[in-house]
Structure 1
Amino acid sequence: MSAGRPAPGTGAGRKGLKSNALGMFSSVVMALASTGPAYSLAATLGVIVAGVGLQAPIITMLAFVPMLLVAYAFRALNASNADCGTTFTWATRAFGPRTGWMGGWGLIVANMLVMANLAAIAASYTFRLVGLDGPAESRLWTTSAGILCIVGLTAICYAGIQVSAAVQRWLLCLEVVMLLVFAVAALVRVYANPPPTAIPVSASWFNPFEVPSAQALTSGVLAGVFIYWGWDTAFSVNEETVDSNRVPGRAAVMSTVLLLLMYALVSTSAQAFAGVGTTGIGLANPDNVDDVFGGLGEAVFGSQQAGVVLSRLLILMVLTSALASAQTTILPLARTVFSMAVHKAVPPRFAQVHRKYLTPTWGTVGTGAVSIALLVLLTAFSQNVLADSIDSIGLAIAFQYGLTGFACVWYHRKALTRSGRDLIFKGVLPGLGGLIMLVLFLYAAFVVYAEPGYGWTVVDLPLIGRTGGVTVLGLGALLIGLLLMPVVTRGHTVALKLQRSLLPRGLPPHAAVDSASRYLPADSGAGVGGDWYDVIPLSGTRVALVVGDVLGHGLQAAATMGRLRTGVRVLARMDLSPDELLSRLDDLVEQTAHEGAVGRGPGHPKQRADGALGVSCLYAMYDPVSGSCSLARAGESVLAVVETRTGVVDHLKLPPGPPLGVAGPPYESMDLELAPGTLVALFTAGLLQDSDSRAAGLARLSHALADDRATLEYLCDRAVDTLLPGPVDEDATLLMARTHLLDRNQFAQWEVSTDPEAVGTIRTAVSKQLRDWELDDLEFTTQLIVSELVTNAIRYGGGPIQVRLIRDRALICEVSDTGHTAPNLRHAASDDEGGRGLFIIAQMTHHWGTRYTPTGKTLWTEQDLPPPDGP
């Protein structure tokens, strides 16, 4: 196992599996082989005939309908996101991690149960092929041989996907050839030399309205679903297929159509030859119901030398079918578990990939080990439990396929109105498939299979009474997944709650900008990460706009995001320029990473890299008085600006800056002049993840933002719907702001000379302005503040002095000079002759502070406005 390495990423094609290993033909072979046509017919045709009689051929054809509908659901979902986790991944993205977990669990249950049965069937047929009928009936011998089969098939799957595909091509060719030979020989015998059981083919066999009852129809279709089940293996190996978004979908639809033709031909020929009697070679004979081909080989081919050879080949056909189906059951099972591990839904050990073979290491080996344990467990109880487990597989199949159909509709709900084709193939057909599967599941679980007389076993349940063992086994297996769900989804839930709690609950109204935002968390435990956004009020009615993206996922990334967001807000309140703020934040990241590694000597495990290393961040600071905007970036943060007069979208090329925590050149600010009404969009790279390229994503965003006069909420929804029509693999954040300039009546400013006598003049001017604003209640305190700040500027600052009053949600007073020394607040002693002015100002204002400018500094204060007069 030392050859294993963790999967490098969660996205489709980024998990480390061998890409472009399978073409269209191999993909179709995988889909057909996984259904095990010969084995499925041998084990199911007798059950269908016993339930519906002569309508068996139409039942096998009716079962094709929901399968084809669900195949379109798989195809549409795979085209949007080719992930080897299939139902688990897609249901997670559509409905959340809990539903996704149950979808993955349904697939695991179905594959595990069928693995135990396939191994037992393969073992029994191996003994019968060599004439050892005694061991074929022995539970010990068949279990032992079944274990060896699982070990051998697991080794083949472990050796690489191309080895598996090569083995499948040979096994499937033998299987298909023998099925066709059997069907043709049986039909020839019916019309040339018919046995006593022969029935000429009739059109009534294909009339579904002649099925005896609704219960018979439901149980027959559900059994028919089992014989088609397995084509979705083409999607489970999608990340190893050429053109993974398209080829698996085409292979799945093609394979279901080929299965329809094959099943219709074989079921019709077998029924025409053997009839539906309950004795002899009749298909409804209870002694042959679990293996209709076992008694038909010699009857169809005769007892001559050639007939004996063909009869043996027919047995070999079922054997190879069981082996092929078992092998292709390991493939999707291992890859589903592998994908669930990559997305942190199962222990991360199962996300390891073999360095040479590029197959899931623990996923493949673990699948084989659990299959062996389940085979031993089921056979230890009785062969009857093993037999009932075959029927219970239908419940897990219906659950998984139905959930996939509904997931397709919900996943693509925003795209259904784009065209009639999308509506039909992404909405109507998958929805019908999911609905049919839901009806089959409910009716079979609570009506058909729950009857004590159905199947081989009965369980006396508390408060319910005697219940069919098929229902108990099928629903019980799904219930285990329901009980495990809170445990395995807890990490995602906690990470998402932490992430949500650390993001702004709502964007504050601000005179400088109107703002709106969207945060789309990734759909899985691995995906919930550290994207964040913020709108931070600054002094002088200025505002800071921030978006950031933390590398990594889960709780660590969310916690790191919270730490960085807090750091940005603290540094922003210090009125630092964007480049200086990012430099200080970079120091914080490096210090945190260094502290995490302190005290670890050579004997200690290697410290994991801090989640903040490599963080991207875009920081923009806008002044509504001047209309200027200063920006700086760390990493690959993106900005879009829409001109208000022309509607042209410009993706500005900001000065490059290294990601936080990564050494590189110093950060650099860039200054812009933004006209009032300019639309600014800040977003993380996750917003472009669904596009073929960065350029294509930016072009789609430009189109979505072209209507700059629309509301920000509408534009946010439009941008998200356009770029990310479905759930996402990586966090995505979008922050939009529309700029404003302060009205000239909202502020006043004066130039003050450095003459001490100018203090009185400015006091008078300020008093007049406050009276014009009807703020007489603040006149005394504001005069005192202006006097103190201007006096300090004359005494210690020098140069031109500016005074500015701004009336916003508070009364802001700013005094600017050319000095670079900021005053310090202190408690003056009783015998000190000075030092009390700033202390007094601090008591009279709500906020105060200092910010540095290119030409000096600005001292500012904020006073709360008096409440408006009542009615």
Structure 2
Amino acid sequence: MKVSTAQAEPATPLAPGPGPGAKGLRAGALGLFSSVAIGMASTAPAYSLAATLGLIVAGVGLQAPIITMLAFVPMLLIAYAFRELNATDADCGTTFTWASRAFGPRVGWMGGWGIIVADIIAMANLAEIAGIYGFRLLGYDSLAGSRLWTTVAGIAWIALTTAVCYVGIQVSAVLQCWMVCVEVVVLLLFAVTALVRVYGTGAPPTSLPVSASWFNPLHVPSAKALTEGILAAVFIYWGWDTAVAVNEETADSRNTPGRAAVVSTVLLLVVYALVATSAQAFAGIGTDGTGLGNAANAGDVLSGLGGAVFGTQGSGWFLTKLLIFTVLTSAVASTQTTILPLARTVFSMAAHKAVPSRFARVHHRFLTPTWSTVGVGAVSIGFFALLTVISGDVLADSIKAVGLAIAFYYGLTGFACVWYYRALLTRSPRDLLYKGLLPGLGGLMMLCLFCYAAFVVYADPHYGATSFDLPIIGRTGGVSVVGLGALLIGVVLMLVITREHTAALNLQRDLLPRHLPALTGVETASRYLPADSRSGVGGDWFDVIPLSSARVGLVVGDVIGHGLSAAATMGRLRTSVRVLARLDLPPDELLDRLDDVVGQNAEEQAAEERARGHARAGPDTGRDEALGVTCLYAVYDPVSGWCSMARAGHSPPAVVDPGCGAVSYPDLPAGPPLGLGGPPFQSTEFHLPDGSLLALFTDGLVQTPDHDTETGLRLLTRVLTHCHRPLEELCDRTVAALLPGPVDDDAALLLARARRLGEHQVAVWELEAEPAAVADARAATTRRLREWGLDDLAFTTELIVSELVTNAVRYAAGGPVHVRLIRDSSLVCEVSDTGHTAPNLRHAAADDEGGRGLFIIAQITQRWGTRYTPTGKTIWTDQPLPATE
């Protein structure tokens, strides 16, 4: 069925797909230098130092430089986790995507929520600082002290930076490169000038020569002070992961963003260590004047030091203003680069169906996220205005609480890296170090910082500007309440949003076979791996169907859609295949009938949509989830050893020769996917030696982010060469080799080892089509049943053979009659002739002379049916063996 698509293309189309590089963003827009600049700008080095250095000095005194350097360690370790994960999966969702694939969609959703919480809270802080410093730069100190005007200016800055992010990543990158270069140059100039003043002329009386003791963490007064200092210093490094969040817009997206993350953290270490050391050497740690311990300057140490270091006359005045301008641009640049990762996280979550799909729209010309960029800007403005109206104290505490969200999602990324690569850690020392030890250690550090801050430091009712009296717990610090409360809101939202994924997964598992049947003709084993992300749970399925005469039907299929509809479609198709298989249809004819079912359902759905007035809904109106489904159906006969199969757009199976272990992929006619029309399906028949192995699989097994289909098939071939291993072990080895980490798309695997029935289990006779053949058939049947020890079935089987051979002689169009007995888990009796007319079961009337024989057969057998062959038909019956057998 074709549906018209002649309509205007929307201005903001949805992301083409959720995969890395497939969302429609502008690929290759950034290089290494731009990525490093964005990573550094996101941390706002000038503002971070201005706002944090005084707090660090207040806690640890002269050890502030070493504390600043120690905070670099967990950040570097997490940067390695980002680098390794990005090398495998360059998705702009970063922590959300990686944690989803490592731990499942619920944990991944919380990782994305941690990024959202941290960025939105930080946006409020950065906007306020940008407003204050903007007025200070222009000399309007009175406006800088007005909450109303700083809020208005902050909102204007958020709107402006949101607009810049909206018009394109390249514009954002150019601005960031210029601003971060100016920022770093001014900071280095400040540090060098301060050290020159300390060791030259004009040193203030508070200055101190640099001492080696400043870099000894053992001189910190207490373990609590050490932890609080590191906790405060960690904040100044936060933001470098923006370089990874724009990975899908970076040239060499798998390597450049990770390198940029590591390089930017190292450069930040150099800048922070130099500025912290020089500022402390120049101003000292006193509590008066420009001393770093002065509580009045704790929120902005650089503005006070600017005039003292550069002077207030001539070029000194200009450099002092330039330092203020640097703090302003630092806050503005960080505001812009905070929007970038936040918008792309929401964009990726929408592409993966973790938030409403509206946020997955891409601007057709700028190739930037539209709704997610505008949405995060609007939410940031609303959050900033709301907290400003409620209380300045709550705003201050919420800014401090951002550290909890940072530690949460950074630590989660470290643990996700270890778990993601758990199967590869023993591959090489490098993998063990960079994929396991370093990220794991970084995750543990972040976990310790999170727990200590949330339940010890921030929970103290005297810490911060606010406190809350909680039930049972009692009086608790507002910073801890705001930080943990924001994360707990995410838990509630996660349970609501991920319920469809849970329901789809449960439905999928319920519709798949719980246990494969134990059959004589084949030994089977299977694996089904659901996708780890919400967008990946689809409708892959497999089945093993017992057929007449000990034959076996093997089927595997791949539904294109995802979610509940795909799982329901899978159940509908699997049921249809089982029903059609019981008609003993050959594979090509079964797929023809299944194709008709799909097409008819699509037509009915389209008619219903038109009746409801939804025909204008767009090109997907009336689309059935089964349209485009691929399927492979095979029938194996353990008596003859022949296997016939046909496929509807599906990958061919792997066939393993039991003698040499050679793996081949039969050249089957492809056939179109179901419901799309095209050439007819064709069956292919080939002989399977006893012990041959068949591997039927879906594309999710061989095509992953780690390797393409060709590589996946090579890995599968390598595993299947060991075909004599137990099938359960082969399944485990296949999954471990092809899917060592998280699964992006459903994957189904069905292994079947062919087994031939022995000659002692089959008896065949060819008879002439004449009345005397009936007696011969009964006699031969009785002798064979006696040899098999099945005398208890002799009477009923003679009756069956007599009736079926009589009908064949009477109604067949000449030619020989064949009788075959198969002793399997049941006793199968077949009578084949050259006729093509199938008998019909009916109740004979009282005056009918015939018509009762087939009715009697149906009563004394458990199953019976007709199977057509190229030369005629076969009527078969199935009788249970005696209990002793």
What TM-score results when the alignment is normalised by the length of structure 1? 0.98
Aligned equivalent of 1:616, options 608, 630, 648: 630
**2:432 aligned to which of 414, 423, 428:** 423
Moved more, 637-646 or 847-856: 637-646
Matched residue SS, 2:837: coil
Deviation at 1:694, TM superposition (A): 2.6
- Residue deviations 1:390-424 (CA, integer Å, cap 9, x gap): 22111000000111111111111111122221111
Indicate the residue corresponding to 1:240 in structure 2. 249
Aligned residue number for residue 148 of structure 2 = 140
Cα distance in 2 for residues equivalent to 1:781 and 1:249: 76
Counterpart of 2:208, as a letter, is I
> What's the CA shift string for 1:460-512, capped at 9, x where partnerless?
21222211111011001001101111101011111111111111112111111
2:530 paired with 1:515 = no
User: C-alpha separation between the residues in 2 aligned to 1:462 and 1:243?
Assistant: 53
Change (3 A) 1:456 1:275: same
Give secondary structure in 2 for the equivalent of 1:293.
helix
2:29 maps to 1:21: yes
CA-CA distance at 1:603 after TM superposition: 6.2
After TM superposition, list the pairs within 5 Å mapping 1:406-805 onto structure 2: 406-599=415-608, 600=610, 604-606=615-617, 607-690=621-704, 691-797=706-812, 798-805=814-821
The aligned amino acid for 2:318 is: V
The letter for the 2-side match of 1:713 is E
1:843 is matched with which residue: 823, 840, 859? Answer: 859
Letter matched to residue 688 of structure 1: V
Within the alignment, does 1:223 sit opposite 2:239 as a pair? no
> After the TM superposition, which of the residue ranges 98-107 and 705-714 deviates more from structure 2?
705-714
CA contact (8 A) 1:686 1:733 kept: yes
| Aligned match of 1:372 | 381
Question: Structure 2: how far apart are the matches of 1:512 and 1:47?
Answer: 76
Partner of 2:366: 357
Aligned amino acid, residue 709 of structure 2: R
Supply the AA of the counterpart residue of 1:812. Answer: V
Residues in 2 aligned to 1:608 and 1:190: alpha-carbon distance in whole angstroms: 78
Question: Contact 1:624–1:742 (CA<8 Å) still a contact in 2?
Answer: yes
Q: How do 1:191-340 residues align onto structure 2 when only pairs under 5 Å count?
A: 191-192=199-200, 193-340=202-349
SS of the residue 1:620 aligns to: strand
Structure 2 SS opposite 1:814: strand
Give 1:209's aligned amino acid. Answer: L
**CA separation of 1:305/1:608 partners in 2, compared to 1, >3 Å: closer, same or farther?**
farther
Equivalent pair of 1:548/1:637 in contact (CA under 8 Å) = no
**1:39 pairs with 32, 47, 67, which one?**
47
Of residues 178, 184, 201, the one that matches 2:186 is 178
Aligned position for 1:6: 14
Instruction: Output the CA distance in 1 between the equivalents of 2:759 and 2:231.
Output: 75
SS of residue paired to 1:6: coil
- CA deviation after TM superposition for structure 1 residue 74, in Å: 1.1
Distance 2:135 2:765 in 1: 103
Deviations 1:369-390 (A, max 9, x none): 0000000011112222222122
Following TM superposition, by how much is the alpha carbon of 1:610 offset from its aligned partner in structure 2, in angstroms?
Answer: 1.4
Offset, 1:696: 2.1
User: Cα–Cα, structure 1 residues 655 and 603, in superposed 2: closer, same or farther, change >3 Å?
Assistant: closer
Q: In structure 1, what is the Cα distance between the partners aligned to 2:338 and 2:572?
A: 46
For 2:666 and 2:122, locate their aligned partners in 1 and report how far apart those are by CA, in whole Å.
57
- Structure 2 distance, partners of 1:55, 1:773, is 92
Aligned-pair distance for 1:688?
2.0
Rounded to whole Å, the distance in 2 between the matches of 1:456 and 1:352 is 41
> Which structure 1 residue ranges, 5 or more long, are not aligned?
none
Deviation at 1:695, TM superposition (A): 2.1
Deviation at residue 98 of structure 1 after TM alignment: 1.0
Tell me, which stretches of 5 or more residues in structure 2 are unaligned? 1-8
Contact 2:606 2:623 in 1 (8 A): no
Letter in 1 for 2:717: S
* Residues 212-231 of structure 1 deviation map (CA, whole Å, 9 limit, x = unaligned): 12221112112121111111
**What residue identity is the alignment partner of 2:753?**
R
Task: Please state if 1:866 is matched with 2:874.
Answer: no
Give yes or no for contact 1:294–1:315 (8 Å, CA) kept in 2: yes
Instruction: Tell me the amino acid that sits aligned with residue 838 of structure 2.
Output: A
CA contact (8 A) 2:546 2:552 kept: yes
Deviation, structure 1 residue 17: 0.9
Q: In the alignment, is the contact (CA less than 8 A) between 2:25 and 2:367 conserved in 1?
A: yes
Instruction: Indicate conservation of the 8 Å contact 1:638/1:684, yes or no.
Output: no
Contact 1:452 1:468 in 2 (8 A): yes
Pair 1:830-2:846 in alignment: yes
CA distance in 2, matches of 1:708, 1:584: 34
- Tell me if the contact between 2:607 and 2:622 (Cα under 8 Å) persists in the aligned partners: no
CA drift at 1:596: 0.3
Quick one: which amino acid aligns to residue 826 of structure 1? R
Aligned length in residues? 869
CA displacement, residues 839-860 of structure 1 (integer Å, 9 cap, x when unaligned): 1111111111111111111111
Distance in 1 (CA, whole Å) between partners of 2:234 and 2:766 is: 86
1:54 to 53, 57, 62: 62
CA distance in 2 between partners of 1:547 and 1:584 (Å): 16
| Partner of residue 389, structure 1 | 398
Task: Measure the CA separation in 2 of the matches of 1:721 and 1:70.
Answer: 26
Q: CA deviation at 1:697?
A: 2.1
The whole-number CA distance in structure 2 between the counterparts of 1:844 and 1:279 is 106
Aligned to 1:819: 835
Structure 1 residue 605: deviation in Å? Answer: 3.8
C-alpha displacement of 1:188: 0.8
Partner-residue secondary structure (3-state), 1:725 = coil
- CA drift of 1:309 comes to 0.5
Partner of 1:510, secondary structure, is: coil
The 1-side partners of 2:562 and 2:87 are apart by 25
Q: What secondary structure, in the 3-state scheme, does the structure 1 residue paired with 2:303 have? A: coil
| Runs of 4+ in structure 1 over 3 Å off | 601-605
Query: How many Å separate the matches in 1 of 2:480 and 2:556?
Result: 52
Note the alpha carbon deviations across 1:121-151, whole angstroms, 9 max, x for none: 0010000001111111111000000110010
Separation in 2 of the partners of 1:75 and 1:334? 21
2-structure distance, mates of 1:745, 1:284: 97
Cα deviations by residue, 1:665-693 (Å, 9 ceiling, x for unpaired): 11111111111111111111111222543
The Cα of 1:284 is off from its aligned counterpart by 2.0
Distance, in Å, in 2 between the alignment partners of 1:624 and 1:678 is 11
Residue 848 of structure 2 aligns to which amino acid in structure 1?
Answer: D
Q: Residues 105 and 498 of structure 2 are in contact (CA less than 8 Å); yes or no, is this contact kept in structure 1?
A: yes
Amino acid aligned to 2:693? L
Map Cα deviations across residues 322-371 of structure 1 (whole Å, 9 max, x no partner). 11111010010001001111111111110111111111110000000000
1:32 partner amino acid: M
Q: Distance in 1 between matches of 2:844 and 2:677?
A: 45
Within the candidate set 88, 103, 107, 1:99 is matched to 107
Contact 1:638 1:685 in 2 (8 A): no
